[in-house]
Amino acid sequence: MNYLWAAGTHQGRLRSNNEDAYAPEASGRGPGPVTVMVADGMGGHAGGEVASRLAVDTALMVEGTPAERVTKANKVVIEAALREPGLAGMGTTLTLAELGPDDTIRLAHVGDSRAYLLRDGDFEMVTDDHTVVAEHVAAGRLSTQDALTHPQRSMLTRVLGLSPEVEVDEIEIDVKEGDRLLICSDGLTNMVPEDRIAATLGKASPEEAVWTLIEQANRAGGHDNITVVVVQVIT
Ligand code: MG
């Protein structure tokens, strides 16, 4: 099996800078191994941009399982914040997928940048949001519908840069021809309904899907930075 991948970002219509980071920057095609990822940074001054960039660059550079690479990225973000007082308090999400030559995608995930799988018309979120609101929904205290507009929907319970002991979720997917994997920052998922994302993803090439989804988020208001990675499994 081969993978076809594309990625893109846009700062949106309200933010003056882009604190998201992603990899790889160029689209491509091949059997893997290839690593794709999205990081959504936060923190005052330049902190958010530095944290997401550092996390992506570190995870690209180091060896190990996806979870080990995310753990290493966490350490590097923490160390940078300790060295530079202006960066204190910076943090970032990181959702990483290793596209394996053994027809397996291995994900490692911290935060609320989501991964979705589109297979045979079914669109399913494969990551859990590490947010206060998602925990309320899981515990039955809040409906999925109310969660969409909850004022604290971006408040994270897990993030890189906060604690040396970060728990990393690991997810493994055995891929089939035609599968599409989406990884995106919340600038997409807070602006565009899931059924619309699924429809776009299902009928476009990865490259077209990336830029159409970014345009849809901007048309809906573009309240945040928008970053999208799309992978399609082909023969
Ligand atoms: Mg965001």
**CB contact at 8 A, 188 and 226:** yes
Ligand 1 center–CA 40 separation, angstroms: 5
Share of the chain above pLDDT 70, in %: 100
Ligand 1 center–CA 190 separation, angstroms: 9
In the predicted structure, residue 73 carries a pLDDT above the cut 90? yes
Lowest-pLDDT range, 23-32, 66-75, 151-160? 151-160
Ligand 1 center–CA 166 separation, angstroms: 20
3-state SS, one letter per residue, for the chain: CEEEEEEEEECCCCCCCCCEEEECCCCEEECCCEEEEEEEEECCCCHHHHHHHHHHHHHHHCCCCHHHHHHHHHHHHHHHHHHCHHHCCCEECEEEEEECCCCEEEEEEECCCEEEEEECCEEEECCCCCEHHHHHHHCCCCCHHHHCCCCCCCCECCCECCCCCCCCEEEEEECCCCCEEEEECHHHHCCCCHHHHHHHHHHCCHHHHHHHHHHHHHHCCCCCCEEEEEEEEEC
Lowest-pLDDT range, 55-59, 83-87, 204-208? 83-87
Nearest to 90 by CA among 140, 139, 50: 50
Ligand 1 center–CA 103 separation, angstroms: 30
pLDDT score of 195: 97
User: Ligand 1 (ion): which residues have CB within 5 A?
Assistant: 40, 185-187, 224
pTM, rounded to two decimals: 0.96
Ligand 1 center–CA 227 separation, angstroms: 9
pLDDT score of 149: 85
pLDDT score of 45: 73
* Three-point CA angle 161, 166, 170, nearest 5°: 120
Ligand 1 center–CA 224 separation, angstroms: 6
The residue to which tokens 């970002």 are assigned: 9
pLDDT score of 154: 81
User: In which band, very low, low, confident or very high, does the pLDDT at 208 lie, cut at 50, 70 and 90?
Assistant: very high
Ligand 1 center–CA 41 separation, angstroms: 7
Ligand 1 center–CA 56 separation, angstroms: 15
The residue to which tokens 């996806």 are assigned: 66
The predicted model gives 65-88 an average pLDDT of 96
Q: How many CB atoms lie within 10 A of CB 30?
A: 12
The predicted model gives 98-103 an average pLDDT of 97
The predicted model gives 197-213 an average pLDDT of 97
User: In which band, very low, low, confident or very high, does the pLDDT at 93 lie, cut at 50, 70 and 90?
Assistant: very high
Q: Tell me the CATH architecture of domain 2-234.
A: 4-Layer Sandwich (3.60)
3-state SS, one letter per residue, for 27-79: CEEECCCEEEEEEEEECCCCHHHHHHHHHHHHHHHCCCCHHHHHHHHHHHHHH
pLDDT score of 92: 98
**pLDDT tens sequence across 37-54:** 999 999 877 899 999 999
- Cα separation, 128 vs 121, in Å, equals 21
Start-to-end CA span in the chain (Å): 5
Nearest to 41 by CA among 101, 81, 83: 81
* Three-point CA angle 160, 109, 139, nearest 5°: 95
* Three-point CA angle 119, 125, 130, nearest 5°: 160
What is the domain partition of the chain in residue ranges? 2-234
Q: How many CB atoms lie within 10 A of CB 148?
A: 13
